[in-house]
Amino acid sequence: MSFDAAALLDAIRAFPLGEVRLMEVCGTHTMAIAKSGIRSMLPDNIKLLSGPGCPVCVTPGAVIDAVLELSMRPGITVATYGDMVRVPGSTPGDNLARRRALGAKVEVVYSPVDAVKLAAARPGEEIVFLGVGFETTAPGTAAAVLTAQEQGVKNFSLFSMLKTVEPALRALIASEGFNVQGFLCPGHVATIIGEEGFSFLPRDYALPAVISGFEPEDILLSVYALAKQLAERKPRVQNEYRRAVAPNGNPLARAVMEKCFAPRRDLWRGLGAIEGSGLGLREEFSVFDAEKRFGVEYGAEEKPSACRCGEVITGRLTSAECPLFGKRCTPEDPVGPCMVSSEGACAAYYKYQSC
């Protein structure tokens, strides 16, 4: 049977619902929604908001500042995913791309293990990998640390900015002015943490949660499922992405992650410091901890800034409502990370404006 978007949209329209605000937690969803033009198709009462699910966007300016400072130290090569190269620290325009032009060594890699290979190939340099992301990238990052340990690659280290989804969502829901009626849950993260990983949403907050894949068809089906749950007032976790997500996720990946990392207090853009929301290397892996190896320090609080990305990724402001959007803040001269990342809400709005 072929997919009938029009029929599904009619069905969504037919639910007796007032204004409904749904949040997509994953940056890949944000991008897929913008790219396929789903927003231009949905009825006016269904609003899709971007959540704190773009790993680059939730990294605060103070941490980027620390990375930029580290990148200028002699002997250090920063290995990073491409997205991080253009993210500004607390000074607009100051990013790894600019530091590279000023002499910093910055290499774009495609996986954490590539950074270990880079280190093995360049024994004279200290390779610092910027570990960014959620439960999706954490197991791969852990595997890279284990590989470095096994192979005795001593010039590899990890600057962990890794985070977990649940504490952030809990903090978001508890925050003042929170106004979201359901979550479109990230399919990639769910492949690791499973359906169980999102069960706290209906259980503790009576919020519907639908785990969604990334094709426009997946997203529209998930919006339909959320609207249906709301209309029936029966919040639960539904798994729309069964072709990839097992009910209990991926226990092996979680085991590798837990072997290397322990939860710690971490700083989020827009949400501030959240207990147990970050993943730091465990004591037995501290030789691979770049923060310890190079004595990196940054403040425990978010610095004030004109950038309002924090409000955008907590659903308080749409990108277009930010006074900087499209004026002082554009993809070529971004003020905030939401405009840089290929998964950032503002970049998606800017690049794929609906009409």
Partner 1 sequence: MDEIITLDYGSGGKKTSRLIENMLLPAFSNPALESLGDGAILPGAEKIVFSTDSFVVSPLFFPGGDVGKLAVCGTVNDVAVCGGVPKYLGCALVIEEGFETEKLGKIVASMSRAAKAAGVEIVTGDTKVVERGRGDGVYINTAGIGFLKYPGLSPKAIRPGDAVLVSGTVGDHGTAVMLARSGMMEGELSSDCAALNSLCESILSCGAAVRVLRDPTRGGVATTLCEFVEGSSYSIELEEDKLPVRGAVKAACDMLGLDPLYCANEGKLLCVAAAEDAERVLAAMRATEEGKNAALIGRVTEAHPGKVVMRTAFGGSRILQKLAGAQLPRIC
Q: Which is nearer to partner 1, 22 or 207 (CB)?
A: 22
Among 91, 149, 318, 342, interactor with partner 1 by CB under 8 A: 342
Contact code string over 167-206 relative to partner 1, x by CB under 8 A: ---------------------x------------------
Tell me how far, at minimum, the Cβ of 36 lies from partner 1, in Å.
Answer: 4
By CB under 8 A, residue 330 contacts partner 1: yes
From the list 84-92, 195-203, 273-281, 287-295, the region that binds partner 1 by CB under 8 A is 84-92
By CB under 8 A, residue 113 contacts partner 1: no
Return the bridge partners of 329, or none.
325
By CB under 8 A, residue 36 contacts partner 1: yes
For the record, the structure tokens of 236 come out as 């639960």
By CB under 8 A, residue 216 contacts partner 1: yes
Give 181-233 as a DSSP string: SEEEEEHHHHHHHTGGGGTHHHHHH---EEEE-SSHHHHHHHHHHHHHHHHHT
Among 129, 261, 285, 350, interactor with partner 1 by CB under 8 A: 350
From the list 96-104, 228-236, 284-292, 311-319, the region that binds partner 1 by CB under 8 A is 96-104
For the record, the structure tokens of 263 come out as 């939860």
The span from the CA of 191 to the CA of 322, in Å, is 34
Q: Which is nearer to partner 1, 119 or 207 (CB)?
A: 119
By CB under 8 A, residue 160 contacts partner 1: no
Tell me how far, at minimum, the Cβ of 174 lies from partner 1, in Å.
Answer: 27
Among 35, 242, 264, 292, interactor with partner 1 by CB under 8 A: 35
By CB under 8 A, residue 147 contacts partner 1: no
Give the neighbor-by-neighbor strand order of the sheet with 237-239: 46-50, 20-24, 182-186, 209-212, 237-239
By CB under 8 A, residue 59 contacts partner 1: no
Q: Which is nearer to partner 1, 2 or 177 (CB)?
A: 2
By CB under 8 A, residue 8 contacts partner 1: no
Q: Which is nearer to partner 1, 34 or 230 (CB)?
A: 34
Cα 85 to its chain centre, rounded Å, is: 16
By CB under 8 A, residue 28 contacts partner 1: yes
The span from the CA of 40 to the CA of 59, in Å, is 30
The span from the CA of 178 to the CA of 239, in Å, is 24
By CB under 8 A, residue 337 contacts partner 1: no
Tokens 């940056």 correspond to what residue? 27
Among 30, 71, 77, 137, interactor with partner 1 by CB under 8 A: 137
Cα-based angle 28, 34, 39 (whole degrees, multiple of 5):
125
Phi and psi dihedrals of 289, rounded to 5? Answer: -90, 110
Q: Which is nearer to partner 1, 112 or 202 (CB)?
A: 112
Give 271-327 as a DSSP string: TEEEEEEEEEE-GGGGGGBHHHHTT----SSPPP-S--HHHHTTTSS-GGGSTTBTT
Q: Which is nearer to partner 1, 28 or 50 (CB)?
A: 28
Sign of the CA dihedral with 258 first, then 188, 179, and 222 last: negative
By CB under 8 A, residue 47 contacts partner 1: no
* CB distance 340 to 98 below 8 Å: no
Among 17, 97, 120, 296, interactor with partner 1 by CB under 8 A: 97
Among 12, 20, 56, 312, interactor with partner 1 by CB under 8 A: 56
By CB under 8 A, residue 164 contacts partner 1: no
Alpha-carbon distance values, 237 to 103, 212, 249, 275, 286 (Å)? 49, 11, 14, 25, 37
The span from the CA of 235 to the CA of 248, in Å, is 20
The span from the CA of 58 to the CA of 178, in Å, is 17
DSSP-derived pairing of the beta strands 105-108 and 261-268: unpaired
Return residues touching partner 1 (CB under 8 A).
5-6, 28, 34-41, 55-56, 81-86, 93, 97-98, 100-102, 108, 110, 132-133, 136-137, 188, 216-217, 330-332, 341-343, 350-355
